[in-house]
Structure 1
Amino acid sequence: MLQLYIGNKNYSSWSMRAWVLLRQADIPFEEKLVRFDGFDSQSEFKRTMTALSPTGTVPLLRDGDTSVWDSLAIAEYAAEQFPEKQLWPQDKAARASARSICAEMHGGFTALRSACPMNIEADLAEVGRIVWRDNAAVRKNVERLCSMWSHLLVQHGGPMLFDQFSIADAYFAPVCSRLKTYQLPVPGEIAAYIERVHQLPGVKAWIDAALAEQDFVAMDEPYRAER
């Protein structure tokens, strides 16, 4: 069986993408959660993950003797190994578009990711209001997300970005969580898409587990001193 190594569900956006993809697609896997306790070489997290992969990061997928690190590589591996799941859109142009926006998310939106780190359990609406007021780069990132999603939802008719659930929706699920945690303003059709993503069984299962974690990791809490 596949093994997926992940970090804390409340904080690990990279882990969320791979986990949600496999869970929502009903691909069996064994979860291996490695708690975030630090990223220096002496931390338990780093020692555990460095023994398993050259990057020492999560997520990490192991399939027998094969190891796949990085969330986008894991998505591609899953699509290749389970073609019947149709994880990418079947249409060539739509598939190219889906790959492009996942790559854009993978290497972009740095202002939003930096100012609004994922924290599913927290209510950071007040922080969000300040970030929105003061950080033009975050506003630009959110504007790009809204434009992208609106176009795709109209083009493909919803309910997901490419009609049916795909890697793209799994890839943007952590962003949906950020937008909710910080209550950043988005148009009504985008808010509706965010809610649909949150109601996907795979996403809901991740969120429920994150809320049940009850693990306050100080290094992932730039805005709170305690729960």
Structure 2
Amino acid sequence: MARATLTISSKNYSSWSLRGWLLCRMAGLDFEEAPVDLDHPETRQELLLLSPSVLVPRLTHNDVTVWDTLAIAEYLAEIKPKAGLLPKDRAARAHCRAVSGEIHSGFYNLRSALPMNLKARHKAFKIFSGARPDVERIRTIWTECLETYGGPWLFGKAPTMADAMYAPVCTRFRTYAVALEPELETYCQTVFDWPLLQEWTEGALAEPDEIIELEVEF
């Protein structure tokens, strides 16, 4: 029996649940999924991405309960140091933590304008002006990481917590037809080809279409 439980919400809409799930799988943690009531007000808040600090996802492991995706990442890095959630080099670890923290605490306009929806695919989508600086900042982060560490992942040859944090952004860019430079398209394709993301996406596509109606102003 699994010694851990990960509480998650919708696989189609919940970017924070995806991040927590990816991190647990990357760490090799034996865990069970515990879906929450999708009509609960806190769950709707999490789905709308108005706050990254509600109690979903939530990891319960032995006698430890930890919520907040970045806290889950750091906890897993402590108990599974060989999993490679953080780079071995000290400077790269600091860089990885910095860009992971940035996606965690920022990009509000992007998260509001381009909510995660794995079932949707727009041929064209006009991004409102307030979200464009967020898109440009993400382009800059990805370009700097890929140039510094050589790809194909943000910090080199294997995925780290940064890739788990930015994986939902890749899906958003695909959903809303955000144009990217070739090297960034290649990075996103690496994420899309990731067996873990493909497994999560299969679960998302299997969810009922009427699971929830997001009330987001674009």
TM-score of the superposed pair, with normalisation by structure 1: 0.85
Tell me the residue number matched to 1:188.
182
Say yes or no: does 1:205 pair with 2:199.
Answer: yes
Could you report, residue by residue, the CA deviation over 1:107-136 in whole angstroms, capped at 9, with x for unpaired residues?
A: 11111100111111112344xx222xxx22
Is residue 2:140 matched to residue 1:138?
Answer: no
Q: 2:168 aligns with which of 152, 161, 174?
A: 174
In 2, are the aligned partners of 1:116 and 1:178 still within 8 Å (CA)? yes
- Deviation at 1:68? 0.2
The answer to whether the aligner puts 1:11 opposite 2:5 as a matched pair is no
8 Å contact from structure 1 (residues 9, 209) kept in 2: yes
Q: Which has the larger radius of gyration?
A: 1
Q: Read off the aligned partner of 2:102 and give its amino acid letter.
A: E
Alignment map for 1:1-227 (pairs within 5 Å): 1-39=3-41, 57-126=55-124, 129-131=125-127, 135-163=128-156, 164-220=158-214, 222=216
CA deviation vs aligned residue, 1:15-36 (integer Å, no higher than 9, x gap): 1001012223432211111141
2:113·2:216 contact (CA, 8 Å) conserved in 1? Answer: no
Q: CA deviation at 1:222?
A: 4.1
Report the AA paired with residue 165 of structure 1: P
Q: State the alpha-carbon separation in 2 of the partners of residues 103 and 66 from structure 1.
A: 22
Report the 3-state secondary structure (helix = DSSP H, G, I; strand = E; otherwise coil) of the residue aligned with 2:213.
helix
Structure 1 runs of 4+ aligned residues shifted over 6 Å read none
Question: What secondary structure is seen at the aligned counterpart in 1 of 2:94?
Answer: helix
Report the Cα offset of residue 200 of structure 1: 1.0
Cα shift readout 1:159-208 (whole Å, capped 9, x = no counterpart): 10001210000010111111111111111111110110111111111111
Deviations 1:41-98 (A, max 9, x none): xxxx69xxxxxxxx76310000122110100000000000111112101100000000
Q: What is the SS of the residue equivalent to 1:26?
A: coil
Larger displacement relative to structure 2 (195-204 or 214-223): 214-223
Bigger mean CA offset, 16-25 vs 165-174 = 16-25
Between Structure 1 and Structure 2, the one with more helix by share is: 1
Distance 1:196 1:35, change over 3 A: farther
Q: How many residue pairs align between the two structures?
A: 206
**Structure 2 unaligned blocks of 5 or more:** 45-52
CA distance in 1 between counterparts of 2:34 and 2:126 reads 36
Contact 1:112-1:138 at 8 Å conserved across structures: yes
Moved more, 26-35 or 80-89: 26-35
Q: Distance in 2 between matches of 1:74 and 1:10?
A: 21
Q: Return the alpha-carbon distance in structure 2 between the equivalents of residues 216 and 77 of structure 1.
A: 35
Identity %: 42
Task: Give ranges in structure 1 of 5+ residues lacking alignment.
Answer: 47-54
Aligned-partner SS, 1:87: coil
